[in-house]
Amino acid sequence: MYNMVEINFIINGSKMTKRIKPSTLLVDFIRDDLKLKGTKVGCMEGECGACTIIIDGTAINSCMYLAININGKNVTTIEGLGTVEKPLDLVQEKMIAHGAIQCGFCTSGVVMTTKAFSEKCKNEDKIPTRDEVKKSLEGHLCRCTGYIKIIDAAEAVYKKQ
Amino acid sequence: MLDFDVISPKTSHELFEVISNSQDKNYRFGAGYTDLINDLNNNLQQNLTVINLAKLNDNNFKAININENGVQIGALVTATQLLENNIIQNNYPVLWEATNSVASGQIRASATIGGNVCQASPSGDMSCALVALKAVCEIIDSKGNIREENISDFFRGVKKTSLKKNEILRSIFVPINISKNIKSGYIKVGTRNSMEIAIASIAYHFQKDEQNNVIDAGYAIGAVAPTIVFTKDACDFILGKNINSLNETDVKQFANLIKKYAKPISDIRASAWYREEVLINLSETILK
Ligand SMILES: Cc1cc2nc3c(=O)[nH]c(=O)nc-3n(C[C@H](O)[C@H](O)[C@H](O)COP(=O)(O)OP(=O)(O)OC[C@H]3O[C@@H](n4cnc5c(N)ncnc54)[C@H](O)[C@@H]3O)c2cc1C
């Protein structure tokens, strides 16, 4: 057993300090220590995107990231966007409006990627083309929808904001 | 379950000290972790220490610096950072396109150029572009000694490099273009469009004079041999020729010279025969 490491970070707006095993993967830390189960474990190889979360504005795969490297950073998971009690985030609203969800397993990842990309586009004051929208979603696998509705939903986000 | 210790040096000084003190240990460097975690998951190790480069605060490792001779790219520069750099996009389209073809946005945000090079995969996209660009690896040891090596020599086999145990890749140097008139790009063929590991790829960077005669040629092939290969004979052949008006025989001859360097294997993604066909067709297409 190796020495535990202390990390300080912000999760969904709240400051937090934890002690963890140095080799803990971020996805396991989020689900098992923080008990935030909205982030999904899919392939654990960086292929499927189900574990996507946002760190300092950038979408990354939490299965390919050491939890200790969030020290000093700002982490957002799907729970940090909207819930049924709080108003939904625009991305979530559009996903629902376009019927872009079936089983829901890939959904939190897709939402996080679209959220990060939409913030980036907003800052650059640009509306991405459909091809750019597709490219932005290349790191996600969805076995239900056939992607069209997901891409439609994402496009609707960029047009609205 | 992954189980290893992690040391996170913050300065070069701390890094060298950690490397020195770890010479009798089993250790790996971790940069963006997009290769390392898969490697470790597939091959669980005991008593492993990961030297975590993610907290290192040293611009020699982290920045893209431009000088009169070329561009020095820190090993820890991520794919996303490269894509956002206008100098790279305008002067080295081959590197920009190769980087844009790596995995997905989430992976590109973490994946570093140094990790791509040190992984020494025959299908490494950024690496393939760097071979065509005749890039030079800047390697530093735990005493601070620096050595430079052409990237083609740095690759020694599948997942093998010339790095010694007490060495680390600090940066990669790409020489400045001698002409503004360039023909440069990257083509990767896979089994689908997104998230694809190449079954064959070509990286080309031709510099031309005003009449379109080639004055400098860089051409590299990926995923068709144990390492990425610089196809020197094909490059020599095309030097001095007008690249916009090559005849059929020249194009065939060029492709044949490339074929010599290919030693493809058959695997689950493609047969050796198919890889070679793709390589030849791609090589001819870019000259037509
Ligand atoms: C789903 C998926 C898709 C992928 N698709 C592609 C693709 O399309 N094209 C492609 O080229 N790659 C692809 N990759 C591979 C990988 O993302 C790249 O090779 C990436 O550039 C590796 O960088 P990293 O920073 O994550 O490296 P790490 O995983 O941190 O390190 C890789 C290796 O290099 C060593 N290392 C890292 N930095 C240094 C250094 N400075 N000095 C010495 N040694 C060092 C590490 O010890 C390790 O052995 C993919 C990976 C995944 C998981």
CA B176 to chain A, closest CA, distance in angstroms equals 30
pLDDT band at residue A152 using 50, 70 and 90 as cut-offs: very high
The C-alpha torsion from B214 through B218 and B224 to B227, rounded to 10°, is 160
The ligand 1 site (C-beta within 6 Å) comprises: A 45-47; B 28-36, 38, 75, 102-103, 107, 110-112, 114-116, 118-119, 124-126, 163, 168-169, 195, 197
Convert the pLDDT of each residue in A49-75 to its tens digit: 999 999 999 999 999 999 999 999 999
CA proximity to A117, closest of A31, A49, A71, A70: A49
Longest dimension (CA), chain A: 51
Residue B196 alpha carbon, nearest atom of ligand 1: 8
Name the DSSP class of A51.
T
Low-confidence ranges of chain B (pLDDT < 50): none
Comparing CB atoms, the residue among A22, A71, A139 nearest residue B106 is: A139
Q: Whose CA is nearest to atom 31 of ligand 1?
A: B115
Contact B110 A65 (CB under 8 A): yes
Residue A46 alpha carbon, nearest atom of ligand 1: 1
Long-range pairs for B116-119: beta carbons < 8 A, 24 or more residues apart: B116/B79, B117/B75, B117/B151, B117/B154, B117/B161, B117/B169, B117/B172, B118/B29, B118/B75, B118/B161, B118/B163, B118/B169, B119/B35, B119/B159
Length of chain B as a residue count: 288
Cβ atoms within 10 Å of B143's Cβ, excluding its own = 9
CB A108, CB A42: distance < 8 Å: no
Buried/exposed B33-68: b ≥16 CB within 10 Å, e otherwise: bbbbbbebeeeeeeebbbbbbbbbebebbbebeeee
How far, in Å, is the centroid of ligand 1 from the Cα of B41? 14
Q: What is the pLDDT of residue B197?
A: 83
- Asked if B115 reaches chain A (Cβ–Cβ under 8 Å), the answer is no
Residues of chain B with Cβ-Cβ distance to A61 below 8 Å are 34, 106-107, 110
Q: How far is CA A138 from CA A38, A133, B14, B127, in A?
A: 21, 9, 38, 22
For chain A, the C-alpha Rg in angstroms (whole number) is: 16
Q: With 80 as the cut, is the pLDDT of residue A161 above it?
A: no
Q: Is the ipTM of this complex over 0.95?
A: yes
Q: What is the pLDDT of residue B194?
A: 73
Q: What is the pLDDT of residue B93?
A: 98
More confident site: B269 or A111: A111
Residue B108 alpha carbon, nearest atom of ligand 1: 17
Q: What is the pLDDT of residue A72?
A: 98
Contact B104 A22 (CB under 8 A): no
Q: What is the pLDDT of residue B82?
A: 98
The residue to which tokens 């025989």 are assigned? B249
Contact B33 A63 (CB under 8 A): no
High-pLDDT (> 90) share of chain A, %: 92
Helix axes B272-285, B248-259, angle to 10 degrees: 140
Cβ atoms within 10 Å of A99's Cβ, excluding its own = 12
Distance, C-alpha B36 to centroid of its chain: 17
Mean pLDDT of A153-157: 97
Convert the pLDDT of each residue in B175-233 to its tens digit: 999 999 999 999 999 877 777 788 899 999 999 999 999 999 999 999 999 999 999 99
Q: What is the pLDDT of residue B177?
A: 98
Gap between the Cα atoms of B70 and B91, Å rounded = 10
Q: With 80 as the cut, is the pLDDT of residue A160 above it?
A: no
Q: Would you state the structure tokens that stand for residue A51, as one six-digit string? A: 């574990």
Q: What is the pLDDT of residue A100?
A: 97
Contact B109 A60 (CB under 8 A): yes
Gap between the Cα atoms of B2 and B43, Å rounded = 10
Cβ atoms within 10 Å of B263's Cβ, excluding its own = 13
Q: Whose CA is nearest to atom 44 of ligand 1?
A: B118
Q: Whose CA is nearest to atom 47 of ligand 1?
A: B29
CA proximity to A62, closest of A70, A53, A71: A53
Mode of pairing for the β-strands spanning A74-76 and A5-11? parallel
Domains of chain A by start residue, with CATH: 5-80 (3.10.20.30), 90-160 (1.10.150.120)
Gap between the Cα atoms of A103 and A13, Å rounded = 28
Gap between the Cα atoms of B100 and B94, Å rounded = 10
Gap between the Cα atoms of A66 and A69, Å rounded = 6
Cβ atoms within 10 Å of B168's Cβ, excluding its own = 21
CB B204, CB B185: distance < 8 Å: yes
- Asked if B196 reaches chain A (Cβ–Cβ under 8 Å), the answer is no
Instruction: For an interface test with A, give the residue of B4, B33, B76, B104 to mutate (most A CBs within 10 A).
Output: B104
Length of chain A as a residue count: 161
Q: Chain A residue with minimal CA distance to B56? A: A69
Instruction: For an interface test with B, give the residue of A5, A51, A65, A136 to mutate (most B CBs within 10 A).
Output: A65
Q: How far is CA B263 from CA B184, B223, B224, B282, B285, in A?
A: 24, 9, 6, 16, 21
Contact A113 B6 (CB under 8 A): no
Instruction: For an interface test with B, give the residue of A64, A73, A119, A136 to mutate (most B CBs within 10 A).
Output: A64
Residues of chain A with Cβ-Cβ distance to B3 below 8 Å are 2, 21, 23
Q: What is the pLDDT of residue B168?
A: 98
pLDDT band at residue A2 using 50, 70 and 90 as cut-offs: confident
Contact B110 A64 (CB under 8 A): yes
Contact A139 B103 (CB under 8 A): yes
For chain B, the C-alpha Rg in angstroms (whole number) is: 19
